[in-house]
Amino acid sequence: MAFFSKNHSASPAPSQIPRHIAIIMDGNGRWAKKRFMPRFAGHAKGVEALKTTVSHCLERGVEYLTVFAFSSENWQRPPEEVGLLMQLFTKVLQQEVTRLNQHGVRLHVVGDVSRFDKTLQNLILQAEADTAGNTRLHLTIAANYGGRWDMLQAAQKLSETDAAWTEEGLRRHLSMAFAPDPDLFIRTGGEQRVSNFLLWQLAYSELHFTDTLWPEFDGAALDEAIASFANRERRFGRTSDQVQGAGVGGSKGGEKIC
């Protein structure tokens, strides 16, 4: 499959494109099982789907893409699967940084990486440093991440300062402080849960659930999610009349509020 080069015909209008998309990439195991393959084959195919999604986000002008690659609860999986996921993560970091740079993609990794082995930790730091000058798309991989962990570590950091306990004060210490909150949250694989992902940041995100298994998620599936987003009215607690009167009607053709 070509990397960073897929073309798609019907393009949504730029005003309908979410600035930030967050994805729970679920369904790798089931995709493999349906084909009598080991679960790991599903994860390997999932990396291909992630590359396709990065490519499509670049084409559509999405500025931030955040994906849940490994949750703090995933350590409970069989050790063999955990080990293979770590190897896959290592391989992605070793192989993809050059292409990320060619396409202006800045890589961030959020989560408690201290539990990963030193080689992986160093690769993460190196990949972040090597792509730090890029601005076209921020690709964030959440690894050993949990939304509760994130809020707790932010609260601990805030308590070590003299700053006031305000939402803005706490937000500054969250691991996604560099990004606007996600406009659109997508979960593949048929489950309708947030599963401890970006708990703070998803407060006003539009949610899109699809039965498509992650390895089968492609540009058309992403466009479908974007089209669903474009039809929502984002009210942020206000009434529909207020939103329409103000001419800032969420994503429905109007200017978006992030």
Residues that bind ligand FPP (CB under 6 A): 25-30, 43, 46-47, 50, 69, 74, 88-89, 92, 141, 189, 214
If one counts every other C-beta atom within 10 angstroms of the C-beta of residue 225, the result is 22
Among residues 26, 150, 181, 218, the one annotated as catalytic is 26
Among candidate residues 7, 74, 112, 183, the one labeled active-site is 74
Question: d(Cα 248, Cα 44) in Å, to the nearest integer?
Answer: 42
Q: Tell me the residue ranges of DSSP E strands in 83-200.
A: 105-110, 137-145, 184-187
| Amino acid letter, residue 11 | S
Structure tokens at 164: 């006031």
Calpha distance 100→180 (Å, rounded): 21
Task: Tell me the C-alpha distance between 169 and 180, whole Å.
Answer: 15
Whether 210 and 221 have beta carbons less than 8 Å apart is answered as: yes
CB of 90 to ligand FPP, least distance (A): 8
Least spacing, CB of residue 214 vs ligand FPP, in Å: 6
Q: Which is nearer to ligand FPP, 88 or 194 (CB)?
A: 88
Query: By beta-carbon distance, which residue lies closest to ligand FPP?
Result: 29
* Catalytic site includes residue 211: no
Of 29 and 182, the one with the shorter C-beta distance to ligand FPP is 29
Cβ-based nearer residue to ligand FPP, 69 or 174 = 69
The verdict on whether 134 is a catalytic residue reads no
Residue 140, strand partner residues: 66, 108
Between the two ends of the chain, the Cα-to-Cα distance in Å is 34
* Pairing state between β 184-187 and 105-110: unpaired
User: Least separation, in Å, of the C-beta of 25 and ligand FPP?
Assistant: 4
- Smallest gap from Cβ 16 to ligand FPP, in A, equals 26
Q: Which is nearer to ligand FPP, 116 or 256 (CB)?
A: 116
d(CA 158, CA 152): 10
Crossing angle for the helix pair 118-130 and 79-102, to the nearest 10 degrees: 20
Looking at beta carbons only, is 197 or 229 nearer to ligand FPP? 197
Residue 183 beta carbon to ligand FPP: minimum distance, rounded to whole angstroms:
22
Residues known to be catalytic:
26, 74
